[in-house]
Amino acid sequence: MTRAQAHTEVHPFSDTRERVLQGLPVTERRLKLNGIATAVLEGGDGPPIVLLHGPGEYGAVWRPVITSLVATYRVVAPDLPGHGTTDPVGGELDTGRILGWLDDLIERTCTTTPALVGQVLGGCIAANFACDRGDRIRRLVLVNALGLAAFQPPPDFGLALSQYLAEPTEGTHDRLWSQCAFDYEVMCRRMGESWDRIKAYNVDRARTPALQETLPNLMKQFGLQPIPAEDLARIAVPVTLIWGRHHRPTPLSVAESASATFGWPLHVIEDAGDAAMEQPETFLDALHAALTSSRTGSHGRERLAGSPL
């Protein structure tokens, strides 16, 4: 594996990126990780926590929860390869290249063993990493994660996703997110200008050749097929599942099955599809519980209401 180079590069921000980062209590630097120039957000002190975002997103999509997390943890939130302002993978994209990238990220940004939190595509990457290199992390949290079952989204979700990827506009973005969120209009009103910034940057990035080239390859390598059960059974660190009850791409039944099979505690977030976006306070409650739990694999399930803490 290529080790991270010992320099930081400067990368110019676009206006839409500046707006989505505005007010976040983080700094950004650009690191060469396993040969991939990567944008990384960092902030806070305390035990390190690495946040991996979902498909078509970027590190700042954790905006609704970052401010609270940096009060307790050292937060590391990269843009995945080909996403945000991270470069696409040059040459062949395979599982080993991406796991090596994550290994370098941990080496460069974490002075102690971190917790690894992955959402959707980031969750599948995190789970694969835990199977292969579990000694590099202290616990794993999977949020609406791919990789626990074959990706078989409902037809209307699949159509909205295809339309958005073919023609990223505000309209196709709204149609897609109407499928992702439990109540899209309520989420938009609650987030206000914050959501406007995120949406603008989502559409901006979806139009880039880097994302259009990388996302299908990442989904092929990580998102479409399940991780073999015998590999998941080898994960030695504590694993917790956090799931929006109404998450349509990967339904709650997938998480319930994994929880029953592997004994992983499951936190169900009510009134949510995307738990961190729609119910950030309740999501944080579940995440703090996962990061401080002493359980290592006992069966457990918790139902968390959609009301604030």
One-letter amino acid at 225 equals: Q
Span 212-237, mean pLDDT?
95
Span 164-178, mean pLDDT?
97
Residue 16 pLDDT more than 60?
yes
pLDDT of residue 152: 94
In the structure, what pLDDT confidence band is assigned to residue 136 with cuts at 50, 70 and 90? very high
pLDDT of residue 299: 40
Give the three-state DSSP class for 74. Answer: strand
Average pLDDT, the chain: 91
Residue 195's nearest CA partner among 166, 173, 179 is 173
C-alpha dihedral, 287 to 293 to 298 to 303, nearest 10°? -40
- Name the CATH topology of 8-304: Rossmann fold (3.40.50)
Residue 298 pLDDT more than 70?
no
In the structure, what pLDDT confidence band is assigned to residue 10 with cuts at 50, 70 and 90? very low
Query: Could you give the CA distance from residue 105 to residue 81 in angstroms, rounded to a whole number?
Result: 12
pLDDT digits (tens, 9 = 90+) for 46-65: 999 999 999 999 999 999 99
Residue 243 pLDDT more than 90?
yes
Query: Could you give the CA distance from residue 22 to residue 132 in angstroms, rounded to a whole number?
Result: 36
pLDDT of residue 293: 84
**Pairing mode, strands 115-119 and 48-52:** parallel
In the structure, what pLDDT confidence band is assigned to residue 174 with cuts at 50, 70 and 90? very high
Residue 6 pLDDT more than 70?
no
Residue 99 pLDDT more than 50?
yes
Span 8-21, mean pLDDT?
69
26-35, 217-226, 286-295: segment of lowest average pLDDT: 286-295
pLDDT digits (tens, 9 = 90+) for 188-213: 999 999 999 999 999 999 999 999 99
pLDDT of residue 93: 84
Residue 7 pLDDT more than 50?
no
Query: Could you give the CA distance from residue 225 to residue 246 in angstroms, rounded to a whole number?
Result: 21
Span 273-278, mean pLDDT?
97
Query: Could you give the CA distance from residue 107 to residue 114 in angstroms, rounded to a whole number?
Result: 10
Query: Could you give the CA distance from residue 47 to residue 27 in angstroms, rounded to a whole number?
Result: 17
Residue 297 pLDDT more than 90?
no
pLDDT of residue 295: 58
Span 230-245, mean pLDDT?
97
Structure tokens at 184: 């899209």
Domain spans of the chain? 8-304
